[in-house]
Chains A and B, each alone.
Chain A
């Protein structure tokens, strides 16, 4: 019974923790502009993050070493440093976007200006990073994040033409008024939103934090292969909602309030209340994960003690990095920069930085020296190779597309 409970808890938190500000914003934007015609990209991205997370989780279990530890070992200090800088920039951008997202969600609920809320959010995030137990943080925020299931309910209530949505998805039907360049740009953005590098830093470091052993491999795989795809369905539901409500009106989504609006249309005030809880939990959870990821990657590169599995006074440098990262995030947001814009940049940045961490993990997952009998099997390697190609193509295309389309405008 206890085992079943643990399994269910793990899967539920994986679902609730899957969606972050990047998924919320990008899926809503794409839904409003392109309907579900990019739905298969979400599927591609979700399968990709499953493959990637399973590999890095397995590496963490078998070798007790998390992602950035291995990046430096396998690429050397020089290339590793370039890798660190690129990954940290992207993760910090995501971190800033998540804090901004929490503030926006709270300001929607309270009508207090988000600039007043940002410092408080920053303080709360830091307190959680400093004091809260790792598993408590994961479970509470992951479970509250399940409130976003309300998007699926809303979509069902909106009762769209299901045949039409399915047709859009499977025929990859680009709307006539959009050009292929913009379409490709949003495809890359969606892919980057689903496959963010921080999820992998966090997942592999989390495996060490929670002291996974080989016995936990099954639980880890269940979280990844059941939890993530169900979380991915939420992404699709968000796109479906905005497609149904905004699509016919030709409205662009550029505020968090618009992301939640379809739920209000479908379910009224109660829907809005639930969706706000979901927004706060999802972005706050992701803020904690990205904040920790900044500390993880720097500490692992330099060999410092990291993690919440030791007391803060045993990992002092790690906690100093967390404080500085949080202060930096708050400072950037206090300039009045639009968190939605930071989000848009961060998802494209994710696509660019992804191969840097993907490749070393793929290599190490094949190394008997680290993995013993748990090296990649044929399926993991076949999928791993396909995704290596996809990830490199997306990374190469991302920046040119960003420039050529003027960020998809």
Chain B
């Protein structure tokens, strides 16, 4: 059984529907996991977009949480200090995805598929979704929460930022109880639902600035609670 193709829907939640999913080639052979996502920023201030799937230790290790991740990344580099591209992850273009369901299905064979992430085009720069997730969000009235996810529009080859999913960052936001259509079990739904009752959605247009180097997002409005949207 194959569930519907998310690419045909209106939006994708980057963390919930794309990150950490299995990548499968055109023959059904497994390729890798989605370890992180490449974000392309426009120097002129255009809307950022997810532009590639990233994989490999150079993509996964920095996600292992602040200090541990940093330590792991340095060890990973020092284990192969003579390699030029030790810190550059491997990348897959979004055009290669033909179906996004319980796995990311590609339209090519896996042999020789993974290559280093190319440098950013002139006038743009690259960041990773892993850097954005967990950043503190400051609104006009002070602390709003943390970035839990990014809602993307599924345009071919370029998934533009639509909304930020913002919440207090309690454990379990990847379980999807705050979004998606769950039917239970009652006990888990109550507990997780309560932990995440303050999760909200904020349009990317309300984002004033992202401090990528020090980690922080400034927004002009409070997010709209998901519980009030539905």
Residues of A within 8 A of B (CB): 61-65, 69, 72-81, 213-214, 300-306, 310, 314, 362-363, 366-370, 372, 375-376, 381-382, 384-385, 388
Contacts and interface: CB of A to CB of B under 8 A. Distances in A.
A314 B27 CA distance: 12
Contacts of B183: 366, 368, 375-376, 381
A217 to B, nearest CB: 10
B186 interface: yes
Given A76-B174, A305-B31, A376-B183, 12 more contacts: A72-B20, A74-B176, A76-B20, A77-B35, A78-B64, A81-B64, A303-B35, A304-B30, A368-B181, A368-B182, A375-B183, A381-B184
Contact of B20 (A73, A381, A382): A73
B12 to A, nearest CB: 12
A375 B180 CA distance: 13
Contacts of A362: 185, 188
A259 to B, nearest CB: 38
7 contacts: A72-B20, A73-B21, A303-B35, A303-B55, A306-B30, A369-B176, A388-B187
- Chain B at the A interface: SS class: loop
B64 A77 contact: yes
Best-buried of B2, B3, B55, B102 by chain A (most CB within 10 Å): B102
A64 B24 CA distance: 11
A299 to B, nearest CB: 8
B225 interface: no
Contacts of B63: 77-78
A76 B33 CA distance: 12
Nearest to B65: A78
Best-buried of B17, B185, B187 by chain A (most CB within 10 Å): B185
A69 B176 contact: no
Best-buried of B64, B171, B175 by chain A (most CB within 10 Å): B175
B29 interface: yes
A214 B30 contact: no
B41 interface: no
Interface string B60-104: 100111000000000000000000000000000000000000110
A62 B65 CA distance: 32
B32 interface: yes
Nearest to A213: B1
B22 interface: yes
B17 to A, nearest CB: 8
B30 A305 contact: yes
B23 interface: yes
A372 B30 contact: no
Contacts, number: 105
Nearest to A371: B3
A372 B1 CA distance: 9
B22 A370 contact: no
Contact of B31 (A62, A303, A372, A375): A303
Contacts of B17: 369
Nearest to A61: B1
A65 B31 CA distance: 14
B165 to A, nearest CB: 15
A384 B185 contact: yes
Contact of B33 (A62, A63, A72): A72
Given A303-B23, A367-B180, A372 B185 contact: no
- Which 7 pairs, one residue from A and one from B, show the smallest C-beta to C-beta distance? A303-B33, A381-B185, A63-B102, A305-B30, A303-B32, A385-B185, A381-B184
B65 to A, nearest CB: 5
Contacts of A366: 182-185, 188
A74 B174 contact: yes
Contacts of A64: 1-2, 102-103
Contacts of B171: 79
Contact of A314 (B20, B29, B187, B188): B29
Contacts of B21: 73
Given A76-B174, A367-B180, A375-B183, A305 B29 contact: yes
